[in-house]
Structures are given as C-alpha cells and as structure tokens.
Amino acid sequence: MMNRTAKSLGKAALALSLLGPLAACQNQGTGQTVGTLLGAAAGGAVGSQVGSGTGNVIAIGAGVLIGGLIGNQLGRHLDEQDRQMASTTAQQSLERNRSGASSTWKNPDNGHAGTFAPQPAYRNSKSQICRQGTSTVYVEGQQEQVTNTYCRGPDGTWTLES
C-alpha cells in the first residue's frame, strides 16, 4: 500500500511542480519550496483517501510528509529552464495540437526532457474549455508521467482545473 501511495504522491508532485510555470510563477530558486509545499498538499489529499478515523489522520500526516519530500526532490531536479520549457510546451500543445499528438522539449544544458500530449477539448460545468493532458518528464534516467485536466482561463492561458 505504501509503494502505491508513494508513487501516487510522486505523480501528484510532478503535476504540481509543473503547475508553477503554467500559472506564470517564474521566480528563481522557488522550485524546491513550491515543490515541497504543493507536494505536501497533494500528499495530504491522497492520504485523506486512505482509511478512516485514526488511520485516516495518520495517512494524511504521512501523505503530507512523503509528498513534501517527493515534491522537494522533483523541484530540486527540474531547474527554472526545465520548468519554462515544460510550461511553454504544455501551453502550445493545449492550444494547437490535435488530440494525442505529442510535443517535446529538451534542455540542452542538462539533458532533461519531456513530452506533452493533449486529449479532446470539452466544456466543464463552469463552461470553460478544458482538455486532459499527459506530461512525461525524463530526469536523470527516471521517467515520471501524469495526466491532469487543464482549462483555458479568461486571459487565454491554460491552468490546472480547480
């Protein structure tokens, strides 16, 4: 159970580490902090789905700790240029790519790379245009993949569905 939870947290933290650039958070040195905080939040959310009563409280606490650690590590490995490239690729793919067509990015300075593949557009309950998208990131020989839903905001940018 813990391995499945840790893997889910890793994927949630990866998605959340990509949320920063999608929301135009471009400050240098914030990757680890944002990754830690968002990973902890995602970990708590995942932990809240496990068990009930005291077991649930323990799962939430463990989720926060594990999510924070994983988010911190991912934030540390993806530098500002990686996050910017991933964000630009996701934005362009969501706006222009046909469903299932991947776009790629690669940082020539550190070899980190990724792909983004959007799915068909639809309108959500708030009448926003949304698409699911799958991000795959390759860092230091490791691959992480996560699928999230993104919606176009009034300014035309795509952000994670809230």
Print burial letters for 1-11: b (CB count within 10 Å at least 16), e (below 16).
eeeebbebbbb
pLDDT of res. 134: 92
pLDDT of res. 26: 38
CA torsion through residues 25, 146, 79, 31, sign: positive
Q: Which two tokens stand for residue 148?
A: 């999230």
pLDDT of res. 42: 54
pLDDT of res. 142: 81
DSSP 41: H
What is d(CA 103, CA 117) in angstroms, rounded to the nearest whole number?
A: 7
pLDDT of res. 131: 96
Last residue of a domain, one of 46, 77, 108: 77
User: Is 90 among the domain residues?
Assistant: no
Q: Does residue 65 carry a pLDDT above 90?
A: no
Q: Does residue 89 carry a pLDDT above 50?
A: yes
Q: Which two tokens stand for residue 123?
A: 């309108």
Distances 105 to 44, 102, 134 between C-alpha atoms, Å: 31, 10, 14
Name the pLDDT band for 12 (thresholds 50, 70, 90): very low
User: Is 87 among the domain residues?
Assistant: no
pLDDT tens sequence across 76-88: 678 889 888 988 9
Q: Do 70 and 106 have their domain in common?
A: no
Last residue of a domain, one of 43, 77, 111: 77
The answer for residues whose C-beta is within 8 angstroms of residue 60's C-beta and 6 or more apart is 44, 47, 48
pLDDT of res. 44: 53
